[in-house]
Amino acid sequence: MSASQSQSLASSSAEAYDRLSQLRPSFQQTMLRIKNPTASLKFYTEVMGMTHVDTYDFNDMGFSLYFLQSFDEGAKPALEPGSVDAHKHLWSTQGTVLELTHNHEDSGEVYHAGNEEGDGFGHIAFNCDDVYASCKRLEEQGVTFKKKPDEGRMKGLAFAYDPDGYWVEIVPRSDKSEIKQEFNLSQTMMRIKDPARSLPFYRDGMGMTLVRESHYPEANFSNYFLATLPPGTPPPTHDPQDRDASKGYVGALHGPVLELTHNHGTENDPDFKHKNGNEQGKRGFGHIGFLVDDVDEACAAIEAAGGELAKRPEGGKMQGLAFALDPDGYMVEIVKRGGYGDAFQPYK
């Protein structure tokens, strides 16, 4: 490809991403597969303080979806999971939910928590005021740990296990935080091959803001933190590479960030590819999702930018929603903001 052709392609992608960003994409969900809804719902609601906001049972297709969300004190809505009001909230929220998918007959499949060779998904995380006190309380409730706050090189943060073995990072809030709830869902971490491709997709296309950027050359990796800022929120004024300012800003956010971890050198290996969580025998993490104003227009813009669709809006039983593939092949669900019709469904 000539230099002029490369420049033209980059310009076309930038224009397509600009079209996509005009559809107001917002980071709305992270999906994990679970074995036992009773155990998982108890962990995330009673232990991690989330609210069960909605449920979908698709008995004809053999699965159920449970949606949970973190709210600060006094902000929790009174919703009956499965109700029209719950659906309306779910597909209009300015926040981000954790979607737990239960396949009714999973034939003994053990879901893969990630973090083995070649895995892309890493963990979800919760922020709290005092990592040591909160981890002590978690341990008293029977929660087990991959890493306790005083273990390893990185003191003051921890990794707990949820009932399916997914890693749950426990991270300290910053002193700028005004959050009263003990825990708030604060991040989803995915590994990426090439920041030069992933950052434009999420920042320029999906409308996220790069709020923190950390480089560790001695350990050969970098972290990029992106957030969907609520409407009316002024963009941050700090340099994302300013360690103290960016850490303080991210540590005070109530909504979760998308943490993209780049292991240096993978971008130069043409054969390298992360597992996206949907491969047979390695299923666990499923996808992240975004709300947009127009699903068809969003899909057209993604394709115009050179992206691929795993499911078109008109495909399958659930018409009106789509799945795109990000530059690493992770599934990205695209759902119409507000849903369709008086029942506020995500599909037609």
Evaluate if residue 122 carries a pLDDT over 90.
Answer: yes
Q: Which of 169, 213, 259, 333 is catalytic?
A: 169
Evaluate if residue 7 carries a pLDDT over 80.
Answer: no
Evaluate if residue 2 carries a pLDDT over 70.
Answer: no
29 is in an annotated binding site: yes
For the whole model, what pTM was predicted?
0.95
State yes or no: is 169 an active-site residue.
yes
Residues 263 and 194: their CA atoms lie apart, in Å, by 9
- Domain(s) labelled CATH 3.10.180.10 in the chain stretch across 3-110+277-336, 121-268
Which tokens belong to 123? 């963990």
Architecture category of domain 3-110+277-336 in CATH: Roll (3.10)
Q: Which CATH number fits domain 121-268: 3.20.20.70, 3.40.190.10, 3.10.180.10, 3.40.50.10320?
A: 3.10.180.10
Which tops the pLDDT comparison, 207 or 5? 207
Phi, psi (5° rounding) for residue 6? -65, -40
Residues 211 and 199: their CA atoms lie apart, in Å, by 12
Q: Which range is least confidently modeled, 160-164, 280-284, 293-297?
A: 280-284
Q: Which of 167, 226, 168, 252 lies closest to 25, judged by CA?
A: 226
- Tell me, what's the pLDDT at 125? 99
- Tell me, what's the pLDDT at 12? 85
Which tops the pLDDT comparison, 10 or 35? 35
46 is in an annotated binding site: no
- Tell me, what's the pLDDT at 109? 86
When pLDDT is averaged across residues 166-174 and rounded to a whole number, the result is: 98
Residues 103 and 205: their CA atoms lie apart, in Å, by 32
Mean per-residue pLDDT over the chain, rounded: 95
When pLDDT is averaged across residues 217-242 and rounded to a whole number, the result is: 94
When pLDDT is averaged across residues 254-283 and rounded to a whole number, the result is: 96
What confidence category does residue 6 fall into, taking pLDDT thresholds of 50, 70 and 90? low
What are 52-100's pLDDT values in tens digits? 999 999 999 999 999 999 999 999 999 999 999 999 999 999 999 999 9
